[in-house]
Structure formats: C-alpha cells, structure tokens
Structure 1
Amino acid sequence: MDEKRKLLIDAATKIFSKKGYFSTSVQEIAEQCSMSKASLYKMFSSKEELFIEVFEYHQNMMFKKAFRYSTDESLSPRDLLLKQLSTQIEDFIERKDFILMQLKDVPLSENSDFRLLMQKMRFRITQWQKECLLQAYGNHINLYCWDLTITLQGLIKEFLSILANKNEKVNVLAISTYIVDRLDSIVNDLLTTRPDPLLTEERILHFLNLTNSSSISKTDEIAKQFLIIEQYISNYNNEETKNNLSSSLNLLKDELKAQKPRSFLIDVLLHYFEKEVGLTQTTIKLRSLITELYTGGN
C-alpha cells in the first residue's frame, strides 16, 4: 500500500472512531491528510468505499500479525493458539473505538454493501477461529469444531466487554491463558462424553446469512495464500529479487481486482512465483483457487 493511501486510511480510522460514520465528512478526512477532496475522490469514489477499505485493512492487518506466529515451528499447538488469541484481543483493544462505532453507527439496513461487508468479515473471523482450534486440538475435534468456535467467540466477547471498558491496562496473556484453559477442559469433556454436536457448518452459514458462502470462502483462501507469499518475500535476502517478487504480487492483486482480469497476465505472474521453490505448492493452490473463483468452478 502506498504512503498516501495508508495516510488516508489512518486518518479516516481516527475520525470515524471519534465522530462516527454519519458525522464524518470526506472534506475533514482530506484536510487531515493535507489534500483536497478532489484528490481523495481520485483514490476512493465515495465515503462508503473509504469506510469499507478501512474496515478490511484493519482486519487484514490482524490476520497478517497472527499469521507470523503460524510459521514459527518452535511454538507448540497450544502456544500457537495462545499467540493467535492474544493477537485478536490486542487488535480489539487497539481499535476498540472503531469497532464499537461499527456496531452503533454503520447503516446496515440502508446499504447492502455494508451488510455484505459485515457478513464477510464475520465469516472470515469465524472461519479463522475454527482453523486455529483445529490446529491446536487436531482433527479429532472435527465433529465439535463449530460448537467450540462459537464457545470461543462468546468467551472472548464477554470478557472483553467487561475488561476492555476500563481505562486500566488489560492483561492480554492472562485472558488468553484463561480462555485456552477453559477450552482444554471443554475439549476433554466433549471427547470423553461424545454428545451430539449442536452446530453444523450449514447452520453457521445460515446464521451468518451467507447466500454466496463458497465464493466468500475462496476469496478468503486466496487472501491467505497472499499472506504466505508476503511472509516468504519478507524473509528474502536478495533485495533485487525481493523487490521483483513484491512488485509482481502487487500486480497480481491489482489484476484480480480489475473488472475484466487478463488471464494471460495472471498466468505469467503465477508462473513467476511457481519458479520459487519455497512458493511452488502455495502457487499451485493459489492458481486452483483463482481458476475456480473467476471461471465459476465452485
């Protein structure tokens, strides 16, 4: 992301958080960044588009922070879960004002784009939490993965609603450890007593009102593969190759956002990543996801 766009997102985050969506004007965001309203509109066509990008940017940053721990082979599955939960809790505390503003001030009933955005973001966090639990406890919790995911969400939400309202410093590790300890007990009990699960994926998707969940899921999987590539690039020693890989990844992302993505260019860029030994399998998966999403092969 270029510096000017990042500056706009940071300014918009602060003003939206302080004043709310409706009371914030594009003019004051532009002035905060020492630019004209016309310049802002060259980057974002509307206040709605800017708000949506702010929302997606912050969630993507949270996922990016959490992903760094996923590549640390020194962490045990339980320690990894603690790190992932701590990242989510820290993100909530850092952006508390913006998150609370979303709950109170976003016009869900008036704009279908906002409603779809909220559904998509909630699905992403729910899917990610489920994967975190599967990583921590293994596939033998498959039957109960959605019950455990919703239990986890409830624990996080209720503790943060009480503890994060205080001005005092929140002990993130203590909260994460307490939650994981409780999850350990719940998992042990479920695997011992074997009750029927309460929730299924179909029921979760129905609850989240996802009419095109397969498409959303593929989009999120593509984003996950991009994070893997970004992490690989960040660890590259050769600066010239590092810059070439980074530029190619940005070009690929831009092309996928185009109204009519050029398949030949996408293929060339993917082939470039495939030549990197450490990215071959990731690129093969990415190619498959892109093909399914953009050719309708759901």
Structure 2
Amino acid sequence: MEGWLAVQDKKKQVLDAAIRCFARKGFNATSIQEIADELGMAKGSIYFYFKSKDDLLISVLEDYGEMIFDHMRELPAEAGRSPKEKLALQFERQFRFIRDHLDFMRMLLREPLTGLHPRIREMMIRLRARSQLWCASHILAIYGKPVEAYLSDAVALISGLGGQYFEALLFEGRDFDEGRLSRFLTRRLDDLVTGMIESEDKPILPPMDLARLRTIVGVTREVDGEETMLLQKVFDLITASGSEREDAVQSDLIAALSAIEEEIAKPAAEQRFLLRAMLALLRQHMPEHGLESLNQLELKLVLNS
C-alpha cells in the first residue's frame, strides 16, 4: 500500500510540474526534458508514470476537469438553499477557480488541443456533455416543466453568457466580484428563460437528449426536474411547519431530504433501502396537507430506483 501511495504522490508531482510548464510556455512548446528539469529528475523517469507527452496532457486535463466539477457540486451546507441560490453559489466557485488558475486556463483556450490526440477529443466531448447536464439540471430545478421545450436553448444561452465573462477574466484581465457576477448571471437567466416561455416562440435547438448526455458522461442517471421540484416542495413544507416540532427533529428531517438528494444519483441497487428509510422518516412528521407531495415524490423515486 505504501509503495502505491508513493507512486501516486510522485505521479502528482509530475502532473503539477507539467501544469506549471504548460502554463508558462504552452503545451506544444514544452518538452518532456523541461518538465524533468522542473522536477530535478531524469527525463526517463517521467516515462515510468506517463507513456508520452500526450498521455501526460490527458492526465492534466482530466485532473483539472475533476477540480472544476468539484467546485460545481452542491456543498452540504447548501442543502436548504433554493435551486436558484445553489446555481449562483456554484457559478461563484467556478469563477473563483478560474481566477486562481488563470495562466493554465489561458493555455487551454489558446492551443488547439482537440487535434492532438483522439483521447483528448473524446475527453473534451465528455466534459462538454457533463457541463450541459449540469446546466440542464439547474435550469429544470429552477423553472420546472414550462422550460422543458426551451431547455436546449436555455443551456446554450447561459453557457454563452457565462463564456463571455470567462473570456473577459482570462484575456482582458477584468477583476470581477465573483459573488456579484454570479448573482447577476442568475438574474439574467431569469430574464432569458421567462422571456422564452412567455413569448411562446418556437425553440431554435432540438430537444436536449439527456439520456445520451448521461451515456457520454458515464453516469447512471441525474436527478430530473420533477424530482427536484418535488424535493423542493417537500422541503418548503417541512421548513414552514418547523415551529411545530423540536429543533433536533427538524434538523433530522432536513438531513433526510439532503440524503435523498444524494442517493437519487446512485445506481438503483444502492438506492432502495436508504431512500425508503428517509421517506418513512419524513412521512412521520409531514403535515397532512403535504402528504400528497410526499406521495408523488415517493412514487417517482421508487419507480426509478
């Protein structure tokens, strides 16, 4: 075990050195020898961990992709926030991550990486699909069924809007307040989506194939819009009736809702027991007028699990 950890640690050191070199000179202008010199190790040693410079770049991109999406995940402390607040907070973390890694991000945008290796192109396609799923799940959670017809256009619009601010940050040196910018973008999403829905214009892009995107990304399934809306409705009912129960019980119920949200995205075989246990806990304390919403949520989750 210690030997494996030592190999992983050294591999991470090589990745970090490559990131620094690529950020300074670009991928094409950086040699394996320069990365070895950055580490103070023999050039041949790098080939023990990576077969080629392309292989090294692929690992660097995968590493950065995971770091970016780590900043786009919901934090436990955000479980009780509205879908719109969660989106703004995750936007804020994205912008902060890019600001903290400006040199490397500039290199990624300036160099034609997709033509270097077939695996790099595949990875870029996977990252794009993952980003589209992330946008789509947030938009569905905020606006529900009325936005379904416009989902592809809404994802394209918010991606393009955010992309222009990313470029201003990267290439123009703009210094944004990430929190203010994220809230501004979330409000503009409101303008775009409500405008499309109210106009009843025919969508430009075809319906988004979420199942295909999930296949590309390699996930079992995502929390869909209806599930998210029902979870939010049950959360609102629980919090609204919170004064009727002890604080400890209220905390347990909110934790149960958060656990359900996490379990939904797991493979079906792993979901069933915990989902039923959390739903049973909620049922014990749900006010009478909220049972219909809880029943709808339970039916949907059980059928999909």
TM-score by length of 2: 0.65
User: In 1, are the aligned partners of 2:140 and 2:148 still within 8 Å (CA)?
Assistant: yes
1:63 & 1:138 partners in 2: Cα distance?
23
Residues 245-289 of structure 1 show CA distances to partners (whole Å, capped at 9, x for unaligned) of xxxxxxxxxxxxxxxxxxxxxxxxxxxxxxxx998766534889x
Q: Tell me how large the CA RMSD over aligned residues is.
A: 3.4
Instruction: Check if 1:109 corresponds to 2:109.
Output: no
Instruction: Check if 1:93 corresponds to 2:99.
Output: yes
Alignment match, 2:216: 216
Residues 190-232 of structure 1 show CA distances to partners (whole Å, capped at 9, x for unaligned) of 2222222111246999xxxxxx866423x2x16999xxxxxxx
Match of 1:51 among 49, 57, 69: 57
- Give the aligned length: 230
Deviation of residue 163 (structure 1)? Answer: 4.2
Deviation of residue 151 (structure 1)? Answer: 0.5
User: In 1, are the aligned partners of 2:133 and 2:213 still within 8 Å (CA)?
Assistant: no
Larger C-alpha radius of gyration, 1 or 2?
2
Deviation of residue 70 (structure 1)? Answer: 6.7
Give the partner amino acid of 1:49: D
TM-score by length of 1: 0.66
Alignment match, 2:166: 160
1:190 & 1:279 partners in 2: Cα distance?
31
Instruction: Check if 1:12 corresponds to 2:18.
Output: yes
User: In 2, are the aligned partners of 1:81 and 1:136 still within 8 Å (CA)?
Assistant: no
Deviation of residue 162 (structure 1)? Answer: 2.5
User: In 2, are the aligned partners of 1:15 and 1:24 still within 8 Å (CA)?
Assistant: yes
Match of 1:29 among 5, 26, 35: 35
For structure 1, the residue ranges without an aligned partner over 5 or more in a row are: 206-211, 226-276, 289-298
Match of 1:122 among 128, 131, 134: 128
Alignment match, 1:145: 151
Alignment match, 2:195: 189
Give the partner amino acid of 1:115: R
Alignment match, 2:230: none
For structure 2, the residue ranges without an aligned partner over 5 or more in a row are: 224-259, 272-305
Give the partner amino acid of 2:123: L
Match of 1:284 among 264, 267, 283: 267
